[in-house]
Amino acid sequence: MARESHRGAGMHLLKHPVITRFSLLCLLGTVVLGLGMGYAISALLTRAVSEWEWQNTAALVRREVQREGLQRIFSASADRGSQERWGRALSATITTLPEVVRVKVWSRDAEILWSDEPGLIGQRFAGNDELQGALAGEIEVEIKRRAFGPLAEVYVPIVGGGGRVLGVIEVYKTPDRLQNTIRWSRIVIWAISVVGGAMFYLVLLPLLMQVYRRQVQDEMLRQHAARLQEQVEHRTQQFMQAQKMQALGLLAGGIAHDFNNMLTVIFGRAQVLLDRLPKDARARQDADAIGEAAERAAALTRQLLAFSRKQLLERCTLDLNSVIADMAQMLRRLIGENITVVTALAQSAAWVNVDRGQLEQVILNLAVNARDAMPGGGQLTLTTESVDSDGADALPSGRFVALVVSDTGVGMDAATRERIFEPFFTTKPVGAGTGLGLATVYGVVEQHGGHIAVDSAPGRGTTFRVYLPSMDEPAPQAVMPLVMPRTGSETILVAEDDPAVRALATDMLREHGYTVLAAADGEEALLVAECHAAPIHLLLTDVMMPRMNGLELARAFGSIRPHARVLYMTGYAEMPAAADGIIVQKPFSVFVLMDAVRRALEAAPRADYATSIA
């Protein structure tokens, strides 16, 4: 389809009125006419200006000779001393004229009467053609090219009484003024010729356009209809793909939510079992294995939530070198044995403020893209470096950490490079790619305030450069290990629609000293809050529940128990900001739940809640 489109565009261009046969003939005639007129006028003007220049020089020389009476130098009775004296006077007078640099005086017998070169005085040069012409009464000019520029030798005949030529004064001058006049005159003439030719052609252009419209109107309509049909088909495919991806995202998010509830029970029960078993019991190893498996499964749910765009962005300052080093082994297993993975990390730490999960997704997508570009094997190189930009290039000024991912694959042409970050654009066969991998990379990099550039050519591989703002090394934070979960004696109302999660949370809280009231949904929780006579210090509620979600429950609960705190638990990692603001993520451990409960109970009195889920 693209090849046919290019072929149609080429045929369309060949029929354009600017390059049709008639228009080309008109254009050629206009160019020839303009060049001919320009050349003729330029030659005539050059000749006229030059002639005027030499006549003017001769007139000035004759005027000075006549005014100073220096024609006596040509007298036959003058002795050598008088001739030299008059020659110096003549040279001093003539060299005051514009652009005159030297003077030489010739007699009627072609003998040099005076020159600023004493060795030439008295010598004869009868074979000088220009001199013979001047002795015949004509002004002769010889132009010689020198290293410093042209030098004009103007032979000026000096005529005495009766029209007899007494001698010749040879004037050496640098015709800079003449050259500049001719140069600018030619520029003006050629400009006028070009403009005139263009205006002449533009007069013909409307006629050509009218002929052109009649010839290609039907073809343009057919091509336009074909393009519209192609765009409709392309947009339809994009829309269907977007719907499919949206459905997959919703499915992945729902699966991850339900799976998180199951993992919460598995992980929590394993920890409860560990707390109840003696320290030397052999079953503790089994309980530890169950907990580790639950943690690995939780990582899988985080990937599903990232795919469905329901993950929480947890940005922190970390070393990019450490992230690449941690992922290197996994990348080697992922891309296959026929591709060598090489890491060349900067000597100093590369601190950036990013979401680690999204950064790992960027590296993974770029690595997979490189793998697909090297079906026969090759080398994948991951490099980090510090970059100080002054804003001269496309990168803004500032300090950046560059992640460079390069491969030795097939490379890309310019047309592909321009579209690689477009959603749904892919060079893979139908069904082999979604076209979202590099679009996701671009979105993540932009979201983190970074920039991405690509350099590639067919047969030369591809290099992606990801620039992230550089950060200072964070201050070390002392982490106090939790030896025992924090306990309490307050009354807590648990609202959770999943029976297993509700039972787990209830058991954990009761085993650590709390009085627990349980409810299967929001309406039951409000009923318990109204009927329970004693104080309720904390509401522990799931965010997503049928009929009444956790945020709506918290608002209604606040009107019944205004002094109670609220703690949310959710399988999603993204939710509207709550006024109470304390959230515990599923799956949670005993330590995490007990710590969150104590933080919620010890927090400031809760504000009025006014946020709802859309």
CATH number reported for the structural domain that contains residue 80 in this entry: 3.30.450.20
Q: How far apart are CA 130 and CA 141, in angstroms?
A: 7
DSSP string, 136-187: TT--EEEEEEETTEEEEEEEEEEE-GGG-EEEEEEEEE--HHHHHHHHHHHH
- Cα-atom radius of gyration of the chain, to the nearest Å? 48
Selection from 387, 381, 418 nearest residue 402 by Cα: 387
- Model pLDDT for residues 212-238, shown as the tens digit of each residue: 677 777 788 888 888 888 888 877 776
Q: What is the structure's pLDDT at 199? A: 77
Q: What is the structure's pLDDT at 59? A: 82
Q: What is the structure's pLDDT at 473? A: 82
Is the domain of 595 the same as that of 497? yes
In the structure, what pLDDT confidence band is assigned to residue 588 with cuts at 50, 70 and 90?
confident
Per the domain annotation, does 126 fall within a domain?
Answer: yes
30-44, 343-357, 450-464: range with lowest mean pLDDT = 30-44
In the chain, the amino acid numbered 583 is I
SS3 label, residue 400: strand
In the chain, the amino acid numbered 77 is S
Q: What is the structure's pLDDT at 310? A: 52
Is the domain of 510 the same as that of 427? no
The count of other CB atoms within 10 Å of the CB of residue 303 is 15
Per the domain annotation, does 258 fall within a domain?
Answer: no
- Model pLDDT for residues 254-298, shown as the tens digit of each residue: 666 666 667 777 767 777 777 777 777 777 777 777 777 776 666
The count of other CB atoms within 10 Å of the CB of residue 392 is 7
DSSP string, 193-225: HHHHHHHHHHHHHHHHHHHHHHHHHHHHHHHHH
Per the domain annotation, does 53 fall within a domain?
Answer: no
Is the domain of 463 the same as that of 371? yes
Placement of tokens 């790619």 in the chain: 433
Over residues 559-563, the mean pLDDT reads 90
In the chain, the amino acid numbered 297 is A
Is the domain of 139 the same as that of 169? yes
Per the domain annotation, does 274 fall within a domain?
Answer: no
Angle at 331 between CA 326 and CA 336, to 5 degrees: 155
Is the domain of 332 the same as that of 462? yes
pLDDT higher than threshold 70 for residue 192: yes
Report helix, strand and coil shares of the chain as percent, to nearest 5. Answer: 50, 20, 30
Q: What is the structure's pLDDT at 578? A: 56
Is the domain of 371 the same as that of 410? yes
Residue after which a domain boundary falls, among 127, 153, 174: 174
Is the domain of 325 the same as that of 464? yes
Give the total number of structural domains in the chain: 3
* Cis check: omega of the bond before 587, within 30 degrees of 0: yes
Is the domain of 375 the same as that of 421? yes
**Cβ distance 474 to 356 under 8 Å?**
no
Per the domain annotation, does 65 fall within a domain?
Answer: no
Placement of tokens 């010749």 in the chain: 168
CA 16 → CA 131, 447, 481, 501, distances in Å?
62, 46, 79, 74
Per the domain annotation, does 87 fall within a domain?
Answer: yes
SS3 label, residue 518: strand
Angle at 61 between CA 59 and CA 65, to 5 degrees: 115
**Cβ distance 122 to 99 under 8 Å?**
no
The average confidence (pLDDT) of the chain is: 78
**For residue 44, how many C-alpha atoms fall within 13 Å in the half-sphere facing its CB?**
7
Backbone angles phi, psi at 409, to 5 degrees: -85, -160
Looking at per-residue pLDDT, the higher value among 49 and 555 belongs to 555
Q: How far apart are CA 498 and CA 505, in angstroms?
A: 11
Is the domain of 497 the same as that of 582? yes
Residue after which a domain boundary falls, among 135, 159, 174: 174
**Cβ distance 322 to 346 under 8 Å?**
no
- Model pLDDT for residues 348-369, shown as the tens digit of each residue: 888 999 888 788 888 888 998 8
Is the domain of 434 the same as that of 500? no
- Tokens standing for 85? 């004296």
Q: What is the structure's pLDDT at 604? A: 67
Helices marked H in 69-148: 80-94, 129-135
- Model pLDDT for residues 74-127, shown as the tens digit of each residue: 775 567 777 777 777 877 877 788 888 788 888 888 888 878 787 787 788 878
**Cβ distance 216 to 20 under 8 Å?**
no
- Domain extent, residue 520, equals 491-601
Q: What percent of the chain has pLDDT over 90?
A: 12
Is the domain of 556 the same as that of 416? no
